[in-house]
Chains A and B, each alone.
Chain A
């Protein structure tokens, strides 16, 4: 497992301090985007093998949302940046 996440605010911390929200690449559709777009947004997820960007919340630390890029196969962590810095909406 990706045991240590290098929080940009707190330094390296064990995964137990975090809550994973999932895929960081999904954008909320417009309110009138239609049933299919909303169904996909709410329910459909890829199950990628390899590099993947996810939202992680540093629940037991600074309580900031981060975008963590990790490898789903090797669990190597490539980066962890504050979600506000990357312009993500959380």
Chain B
């Protein structure tokens, strides 16, 4: 138990916000600082077998809450914060089969939507963002410029980026710059 309560500050609270670039009829690109609810990193035991169903059970049940990083590794994300007892419950649910690390304080979600979103991300990553290669529901860890981040496609023209907290504002600034040609509406307040 902590001796004093920590003051939560949103990672992007002080970041640039407002409109950047030309105003577009289609609304351009929208950047959103998403709620800092929970981010759990799940690492499977070597002999755990297929954990896909079990991991879904510790998520909040939303469609793209579970995001595969690589063999035996996932992130579980959600908008609502987890109390210590709720977190302990998720650990107990996978006890012996996977370990769960609370990364809520460490990783930030950024939403990027609009028809140009695919083109904006393609400026930063070598991953083929075409829907044939990167369909809705797909997640991957990659470099965006020089920053490691996870990209998830949550709709045809909507992505979520999961990035280390300390890099969040740099990436935010870069996304505004890469999106300038489309016009960017940057919303820091969730």
**With a CB–CB cut-off of 8 A, which chain B residues contact A12?**
126
**With a CB–CB cut-off of 8 A, which chain B residues contact A28?**
none
Interface of B is mostly: strand
The answer on a CB contact under 8 Å between A62 and B69 is yes
The answer on a CB contact under 8 Å between A60 and B69 is no
Those of B86-138 within 8 Å (CB) of chain A? 126-128, 133
In the bound assembly, the distance between CA atoms of A16 and B70 in angstroms comes to 18
Count of chain B residues near A, Cβ 8 A: 13
A contact residues vs B (CB 8 Å cutoff): 4, 9-14, 16-17, 58-64, 82
B contact residues vs A (CB 8 Å cutoff): 69-71, 73, 126-128, 133, 140-143, 148
Pull 14 A–B residue pairs with CB atoms less than 8 Å apart, ordered by A: A11-B127, A13-B127, A13-B142, A14-B126, A17-B126, A58-B70, A59-B148, A60-B142, A60-B148, A61-B70, A61-B141, A62-B70, A63-B70, A82-B71
